Amino acid sequence: MDYGKDILNSLVDMYERREGYIKEPSSLRAIQIDIKKNYPAYVDRYDHNAYKDINAAIEKLISEGVIISKLESTGVYSNVRLNIDRISDCYKRLNRKSIPEQCEYIKQILSLFENDNYMLLNNIISDWMNLAVNYRKLPYDLKYDGKRLKDVLTILEAVFKIEQESYIRNFSTAVFKDSKRFQKEFKSCIESILFDYTDDPIEKDKILEYYNLYENPTYVYIKGDMVISFDNSTIYANELPDGIALSNASLKRIKNIKVLAKAIITVENLTTYHDENKKEAVYIYLGGYHNKSKKELLEKIYKDNRFCEYLHEGDIDIYGFLILENLKERTGIPFKPLLMDVNTLKRFYEAGIYKELNISDIRMIEKNRENLKEYSEVLDFMLLNNCKVEQESLRAIELLE
């Protein structure tokens, strides 16, 4: 072990933890370490080499003026103290960048990625720039790592440029010339950042799909009495009991959709899609968040079938209602909630089939109360009884009854 380097690194670490770089030296408590405590081998009478090497390392650091210590009559050094006046020499000796230097580099990198075309990216950069200006660590385990920061910003910028369904491995190859690097090193970090900065109510494990980035092709499942016409063919969905699955690419080829049923029902969960089978309704499972092509599909259906009733069956939790409102806002379609009322929630609750709210649920309810007045009765019941429900639980109740 290089005892000299280890001792000096420990002292500089302590200096940084106490934020010595933004304080007057005279206001700092002595920055020192207990040699015997840090290196038990130093006082092990059977390990003379450790004693000799540590003493030599300390004496060298003293001679260089970067630490202060005094040899005791027993021939050992008890405490060694950092010489604050020589802190810049400590960094040079360790070939280590100071916090202010690292923050300056971080500010330079952040400035390179400022782009008026991507408001979300600018929001992230603004928050992180404020941290760097105040010598604070960046979140998402970036800390003061300028190299990783540059990679993360490169990824975010690339994500915001995606306008159509893309696959993660292709994306990784385009950004890094390596099809697996994004998933190995950055996926979790990028998901967390996008989840925290995206206003729309997206579940974290679906956030990449919201930005058109998928692991595999996704499909829209459709069943019920409707006719889907393409350039050279027509599909009568009612002839297929389980419906059909169309990829995003296929959605763009649809020329016309004629609905013969009375209602269009979008569902949040695939199990619900398979369970429901009302003859007078067309069911659509969007396979995750409604991206551009799925949004266009719904708009196409609505344009050609305004006489239908439009319903949405989602989870009876805060996110279910936020997803419903977002669906209405993004498509302009007057969707109404189906089986998302307080009586349905009570039925689940009395059957003991529900989950308790977590802190995030409660915060989101309080945060969005004003925008969700229409659902205040069911939200009040959630809070009062500490419950929420997933829609696929409906069949579970029927099995018990």
Q: What is the pLDDT of residues 15-69, one digit of tens each?
A: 999 999 888 887 888 999 999 999 998 888 888 888 999 999 999 999 999 999 9
Q: Of 283, 313, 343, which closes a domain? A: 313
Q: Which residues sit opposite 267 in a β-bridge?
A: 285, 313
Q: What is the pLDDT of residue 396?
A: 65
Residue of 273 and 184 predicted with greater confidence:
184
pLDDT score, position 296: 83
In 10 A of CB 80, how many CB atoms?
A: 26
- Domain end point (choices 169, 197, 213): 213
37 and 47 assigned to the same domain: yes
**What is the structure's pLDDT at 394?**
64
**230 and 262 co-located in one domain:** yes
Last residue within a domain, chosen from 185, 213, 241: 213
- Flag whether pLDDT at 177 surpasses 90: yes
CA distance 55 to 38: 14
- Tens digit of each residue's pLDDT (9 = 90 or more) over 72-87: 988 889 899 999 999 9
Radius of gyration of the chain (CA): 31
Q: How many domains does the chain divide into?
A: 4
| Segments forming the whole domain that contains residue 114 | 99-213
Confidence at 200, pLDDT banded by 50, 70, 90 = confident
Same domain, 288 and 195: no
Q: Please say if the pLDDT value at position 398 is more than 70.
A: no
Query: CA-CA distance, 194 to 202, in Å (whole number)?
Result: 10
When mean pLDDT is compared across 203-207, 346-350, 366-370, the lowest value belongs to 203-207
Mean pLDDT (whole number) for 161-180: 93
pLDDT tens digits, 87-123: 999 999 999 999 999 999 999 999 999 988 899 999 9
User: Which pair of structure tokens corresponds to residue 195?
Assistant: 């989840």
Of residues 276 and 235, which shows the higher confidence score?
235
pLDDT tens digit sequence for 287-346: 656 667 788 889 999 999 999 999 999 899 998 999 899 889 889 999 999 999 999 999
Residues sharing a CB contact under 8 Å with residue 89, sequence separation 6 or more, in sequence order: 64, 65, 66
pLDDT bucket at 136, cuts 50 / 70 / 90: very high
CATH of the domain at 291: 3.40.1360.10
Q: What is the pLDDT of residue 400?
A: 58
| Same-domain check for residues 240 and 301 | yes
In eight-state DSSP terms, residue 334 is: -
- Tell me: do 107 and 152 sit in the same domain: yes
**For residue 227, what pLDDT is reported?**
95
- Per residue in 201-214, pLDDT tens? 787 888 998 898 99
Asked if 31 and 69 sit in the same domain, the reply is: yes
User: Left, alpha or beta for 138 (phi > 0: left; psi -120 to 50: alpha)?
Assistant: beta
Average pLDDT, the chain: 90
The whole-angstrom separation of Cα 20 and Cα 247 is 58
Integer Cα distance of 227 and 122 in angstroms: 45
